[in-house]
A and B are shown apart, each in its own frame.
Chain A
Amino acid sequence: MFDSVNASAIKERVACFVVWLGAAAILCVLMWIVFDILMKGASQLSINFLLNAPEDAGRSGGIGTIIVSTLMILAVTITAAVPLALASAIALSEDAKSGPGLSGFVRRSLDVLAAVPSIVFGLFGNAFFCITLGMGYSILSGGLTLACMALPILIRTTEQAIRAVPSEYRHAAAALGLSRSTALFRVILPSAMPGIGAGLVLGIGRALAETAALIFTAGYVTRMPESLSDSGRSLSVHIYDMAMNVPGGNSRAYATATVLVGLLLFINAAALATTRYAGNRGSSHVMSGAIR
């Protein structure tokens, strides 16, 4: 008995060490990347950089118009993808069968969709949105293509979040005579908000990080977009162009990457704040409180 107590104590210590080590390793690599970006790009940052339009193929001037295009593309993506994802996730979570049947087919298709390469999405978006639907190279085409790309992530994570809500909530709602839709919008979705928030962050991250898909749909133009049907390049396309296409654009690429990282921090915070506002506060703290 003494041995088994010792053995489990050793296992605990080793596990604790390994977990902290893993987390520290992740942190170190992330810091490495972020510092690398900051160091190489910081020299180019200034208020003018954030406000002006690019000049000399991007080697001077700023990225103001590009930031606007990026935000517009993101807005289109979220507007198109989030309602569709939410509705689809609700449909999938209601139907528990994972075998043959509509929900099984939809889940399998989403898994396959998640693996489509970004360049294939770009070419598909070009053929479908730009040419067949006649939108041309535009922010609208880019946003819709990104919405297609973010859909699997959003749907799967939202479905998981909804499923994870304890069945007692559903039973209690039914016992109180609530209709399914009321139960859904007043009880279940608010409880699932933290998970939905995590999915939203992942989806937004995927959308902002996309390059190949946007080159063929939202395009390459650096002008300030006046409407959704104008072409406009996003920050990641600009980073790609500066780093891999335009000679001498290296430091600009890093500076743009720094701005992107800043934008990401801001958008993630906003997304999480929104979901926390829409959901029940404090339900995720139950977990960590239980062990301490």
Chain B
Amino acid sequence: MTLSCRNISFPFNADRWLTRLTRLSACVSAAIVLLVITFLLLESWPAFRTIGVSRFITDESWHPLSDRFCLVPMITATALTSGGAVIFAAPLGVCSAVFSQFYAPPRIAAWHRRLVELLAGIPSVVFGLWGLVILVPLLAHLGGSGQSLLAATLVLALMIMPTVALTSSSALSSVPAELIRGGAALGMKRWSIVWQIAIPAARSGINTGVMLATARAVGETMAVLMLAGNVPEMPSAIVSPVRTLTANIALEMGYATAEHRSLLFVSGLMLMGVVSAGVLIAELVRGRRHV
């Protein structure tokens, strides 16, 4: 019967339609990213044409209305704030997931999850406001005005932690029960089971969470704008003010002339370039480890 079937892999018509439909949706999703990148390229093309690429790295400072266009301090700031935020948020998020899945009594676990979900939906403006009004004056005691790399990194970590926590939590809950029971049967204690069985089994889900959190941190605009100080210079200390690429766009876009606008889109494009490089590197690292 199977040999007389038209197509062995699609013995049912519904399956063929399902595959077509789902593949089309995936194409549409990928097409959106192409549209966004095309948009960025179109908008930043005038700047590339008049100024060229190297000046964005070699100029002495960022003063676009005085003909200076160095983006290096801002790239550094983006890397430092996002990197710092992920370093704080990832362990904290996984810790929260482990807590709600393995250590907490069921009712406390449910409430903890609900509160983390709440944290996930608080607008970046509110985080920025809280940071500006409460955290920054506290940090001002350390020097400067308080608006600094440290303030931005801390609040950013707080903002992305729920992403890691929630995805890790569902990844940990999908670990097959037999693995856990097997560990318990071998006499392993709770932490050993978590560290040596559950987390490695949930690794792909946790990685997804960290990836999404990093992406969110890199793209965050509002909160960093309110907290980082926005001075386009290389930071000399953790309490120095910095300006990220996203804050650069948001800060100057509203009042920019056409040429200035084009320059700002170059920062956006540079951000996309950095992110794409990061994604490709992560892919290579993951590929090498599996092979």
Q: Does A touch B (CB under 8 Å) in the complex?
A: yes
List A residues at the B interface (Cβ < 8 Å). Answer: 8-9, 11-12, 15-16, 18-20, 22-23, 25-27, 29-30, 32-34, 36-37, 83-85, 87-88, 90-92, 94, 98-99, 102-106, 108-121, 123-124, 127-128, 148, 151-153, 155-157, 160-161, 163-166, 179-182, 184, 194-195, 198-199, 201-202, 204-206, 208-212, 235-236, 239-240, 243-244, 253, 257, 260-261, 264-265, 267-268, 284, 286-291
A236 touches B118 (CB 8 A): no
Pick the residue among B98, B166, B189 that contacts A8 (CB under 8 A).
B189
A-chain residues with CB within 8 Å of residue B109 when the two chains form the complex: 288
A-chain residues with CB within 8 Å of residue B215 when the two chains form the complex: 111, 114-115, 152
B92 touches A117 (CB 8 A): no
When chains A and B are docked, how far (Å) is the Cα of A33 from the Cα of B15?
A: 49
* Total A-B Cβ pairs within 8 A: 328
When chains A and B are docked, how far (Å) is the Cα of A108 from the Cα of B167?
A: 19
A290 touches B184 (CB 8 A): yes
B26 touches A205 (CB 8 A): no
Min CB–CB distance B19 → chain A (angstroms): 8
When chains A and B are docked, how far (Å) is the Cα of A185 from the Cα of B127?
A: 39
Interface size on B, residues (CB 8 A): 112
A-chain residues with CB within 8 Å of residue B283 when the two chains form the complex: 98, 104, 108
Q: A22-B92, A26-B116, A201-B117 are in contact. Are A211 and B222 (CB under 8 A)?
A: yes
Contact mask for chain B residues 232-245; partner A; CB cutoff 8 A; 1 contact, 0 none: 00000000000001
Majority DSSP secondary structure for residues of B touching A = helix
Q: Which 6 A-B pairs have the closest CB atoms?
A: A205-B121, A164-B174, A87-B25, A114-B215, A91-B22, A179-B12
Q: Is B262 an interface residue (CB 8 A)?
A: no
Pick the residue among B123, B272, B286 that contacts A211 (CB under 8 A).
B123
B123 touches A239 (CB 8 A): yes
When chains A and B are docked, how far (Å) is the Cα of A19 from the Cα of B116?
A: 15
Which residues from 119 to 153 on chain B have a C-beta closer than 8 Å to any C-beta of chain A?
119-127, 129-130, 134
B12 touches A180 (CB 8 A): yes
B246 touches A124 (CB 8 A): no
Q: Is B176 an interface residue (CB 8 A)?
A: yes
The residue in chain A whose Cβ has the minimal distance to the Cβ of B274 is A115
When chains A and B are docked, how far (Å) is the Cα of A184 from the Cα of B33?
A: 28
A119 touches B246 (CB 8 A): yes
A110 touches B221 (CB 8 A): no
